[in-house]
Structure 1
Amino acid sequence: MVQFSTLLYVSLITSVAAQFSVLITDKEVVGNVGDDLVIGCNFTKTGSFRSNFHIHWYYLKKDNKSTVHAYYGGADRLEDQDVAYQDRTQLFHSEFPNGNASLKLYKLETSDSGVYQCIVTNGQEQAHDNGSLKIHEVKTNEFSGGGVPLWLIIGIIAVILIIIFSIIIAFNMKTGGFYLYQRWRIFKIKRRISNYHGKSITIKVIGMKKHGGPSLVNSCYYVKFDLPLSDWAGAEADSYVKKPLTLELNLTDFIKIEKEEPMDDVQEDGTFWSSRKSYYIDKWRESNDLVFIFVIRNDYTTNDQTETEIQALFEDVKNLTGTFPLPVVTMKSLGTPKHMKSILENLGFHPVFNIDNYTQQNPQRNPRKDLTFLELLEACIEKEMKLKDSNENKHVS
């Protein structure tokens, strides 16, 4: 009878014990470095929780194990937690009644790879299960989601850059130069002109009739202010007689540009300057801070006497102001390319600006043309500043 009672008791205990189990839901979990991940674990619900309800998660090593997370006494117990898991673990307390003992790991590290063990104790019942975790490093030659090879990424970027570069080249060929560089230079020179606050400068444009002097004044004003093109300086034939022989336009409070009364056409003896030199010199001597621009059209035919006259004009202007005029060849598209530019350079004058003015017949803006006119104005400012420095050095010495 005693033996039968003992056997019955043992059988009941074995039956209850067999009812309690722990199961890690996925025996092998895979994650990526830096991600968050849950290792699922369920245990058998056998009624209410006992006072000694425990959950322990361990990381199994070859000879021992380290505590990943522990819960007992109604609270997390992290006193013995391995420092490698500090602030990176969580259990879901509200899910315990549902038999959920899952562990959440934050910010996965490569060292997290290995075997994990979940032990659940409820009163006299206890069970455990093991599962493994594998951590993948996100390689530099792959996206974390798609595994795109590095060579493919580089190839796509290279194709995009080639397309962009081709578009830029095509656009530059159409506009006649490096567009972005030109736009940067245009902005920079305009700002320099607007910010000039030195000694007042009068840019005086001189030359013979029908050589483009008034059109040059119009073009500089047109480019500086981005206004609709107008015949401010009387360049057109019908307005030429209506405008004053001299006319000035203010580019800033400190810089103005002025067309001078045109010189006579070349005489039979080849002179155009000597016959009226005294008239102009006396007139210019009354003004201060003059910077001269001399205009001559590209298709103009010169001879030895004419070139001598040009040299004499430049020398006389230098004697008056301390610096040569800036030579500008207008209507560059007429006649032999760079014909007059070469003559002026052979006479020793540098730099020579070679341009086509904006006119009522040809008002279409072009960044390269804009830049030429602005560089001409910038050269005038630089001439005045160099002359000022030279004069100050003379006074010091």
Structure 2
Amino acid sequence: MLFYVGDSEIRKRLSEYTPGSTQNLQGHGYSRVCVQLFGMTGHGKSSLINSCLCVAKDVKYRNVANSSIANTATTMMRNEFKLNNAVYMTDNRGITKLTEEELFEISAQFCQLRTTGEVMWKDGSKRNNEALIKTPKIQEIIVPVFVYSAEYPSAPQTFEQYEAFIREAYNMTDLFPIIVLTKCKQINTKELEYKFRQLGANHVVRIENYTTTNNQRNPEIDTNILKFLEICLEEADQAIDLKLGRDPQQEWSNKVSRLNNMIKEAEERKQKQEKEDEKKRYQSTCILI
């Protein structure tokens, strides 16, 4: 297997990484980094995790994240995969329409209010309050990643939803999501890259994932994956640097309170709308009578 110059050095840095080490930050209290992957259903999140595990550890490709050959949803759970003792990748349930409820659930995950297991898009406020009682106070840095298939149509209204995700990711993690464009081998992605950068993304990378049917190692793909992982760790340390001097417990509590207030306001709007709809139905019935 022939690697591009620098691959072995990047792989060594990945294997030896501890939070803060890319900037020589010490005494910050953060013990692990969680690279959280989000994306629409079938866009390649699980394949990206499989590819990262394969390349970072320089081992034979295995479908450990249970990715699908077709563009269908296979991940309904929130699963965690270990890159090294301090770095984990989290595969989340595929987003369907990026509704308000889905966005609230994603924010709850950014706030560390969810462990691994089944992902549900409803009753977020109730589950948040339950989670507050038992949430482990892990000093963890979240690096948000949004996986997007270049084969997917990019309608203007769709990007309005992505803007909401990118904004919320930044509010909760102090980092703009890293955008990973997949399935783009034969596609010009300059317009896509521009659109995501306009929404605030600092990093937009192109990666062709390895899959169960296409897992022959390729030096260029390996290098792109290693560079993506290096960006993740650099972003994590940037977040640590930003958080120096802050009270992490107070910051966490503020973000959870903000999230629960958002959910409460959304529930109140929904109840108000339901009452208005009921009133209109009643008035329509009276007119018919």
Spell out structure 1 runs of 4+ moving beyond 6 A. Answer: 240-243
Q: How does 1:1-397 map to 2 (within 5 A)?
A: 183-198=4-19, 199-236=31-68, 245-264=77-96, 266=97, 272-286=98-112, 288-392=140-244
* 2:244 alignment partner, SS class: helix
Question: What residue identity is the alignment partner of 2:107?
Answer: I
Kept in 2: contact 1:297–1:340 (CA 8 A): no
Kept in 1: contact 2:38–2:92 (CA 8 A): yes
Kept in 2: contact 1:341–1:354 (CA 8 A): no
Question: Can you list the C-alpha shifts for 1:232-273, whole angstroms capped at 9, x where unaligned?
Answer: 1111259x8776622111110001111111111x3xxxxx24
Cα distance in 1 for partners of 2:141, 2:214 equals 33
TM, length-normalised to structure 2 = 0.66
* Alpha-carbon RMSD: 2.4
Which structure has the bigger radius of gyration? 1
* 1:249 alignment partner, SS class: strand
Cα distance in 1 for partners of 2:74, 2:179 equals 27
Cα distance in 2 for partners of 1:293, 1:241 equals 18
Q: Which runs of 5+ in 1 are unaligned?
A: 1-174, 267-271
Match of 1:69 in 2: none
TM-aligned CA distance change 1:278 to 1:224, over 3 Å: same
Kept in 1: contact 2:149–2:184 (CA 8 A): yes
Question: Can you list the C-alpha shifts for 1:247-304, whole angstroms capped at 9, x where unaligned?
Answer: 111110001111111111x3xxxxx243421122123312632111100001211222
TM-aligned CA distance change 1:219 to 1:368, over 3 Å: same
Match of 1:130 in 2: none
Cα distance in 1 for partners of 2:105, 2:99 equals 10
TM-aligned CA distance change 1:187 to 1:321, over 3 Å: same
Cα distance in 1 for partners of 2:37, 2:239 equals 18
Kept in 2: contact 1:203–1:380 (CA 8 A): yes
Match of 1:24 in 2: none
TM, length-normalised to structure 1 = 0.49
Deviation at 1:206, TM superposition (A): 0.5
Cα distance in 2 for partners of 1:227, 1:292 equals 25
Kept in 2: contact 1:214–1:235 (CA 8 A): yes
* 2:77 alignment partner, SS class: coil
Cα distance in 1 for partners of 2:73, 2:93 equals 12
Aligned-residue identity in percent: 24
Question: What residue identity is the alignment partner of 2:102?
Answer: R
Deviation at 1:394, TM superposition (A): 5.3
Kept in 1: contact 2:32–2:141 (CA 8 A): yes
* 2:105 alignment partner, SS class: helix
Q: Which runs of 5+ in 2 are unaligned?
A: 20-30, 114-139, 248-289
Question: What residue identity is the alignment partner of 2:43?
Answer: H
TM-aligned CA distance change 1:242 to 1:278, over 3 Å: closer
Aligned residue pairs, count: 209
Question: What residue identity is the alignment partner of 2:226?
Answer: L
Kept in 2: contact 1:298–1:334 (CA 8 A): no
Question: Can you list the C-alpha shifts for 1:164-206, whole angstroms capped at 9, x where unaligned?
Answer: xxxxxxxxxxx9xxx7xx5331111111111112330011110
Kept in 1: contact 2:33–2:141 (CA 8 A): yes
Question: What residue identity is the alignment partner of 1:192?
Answer: R
Kept in 1: contact 2:38–2:147 (CA 8 A): yes
Deviation at 1:212, TM superposition (A): 0.5
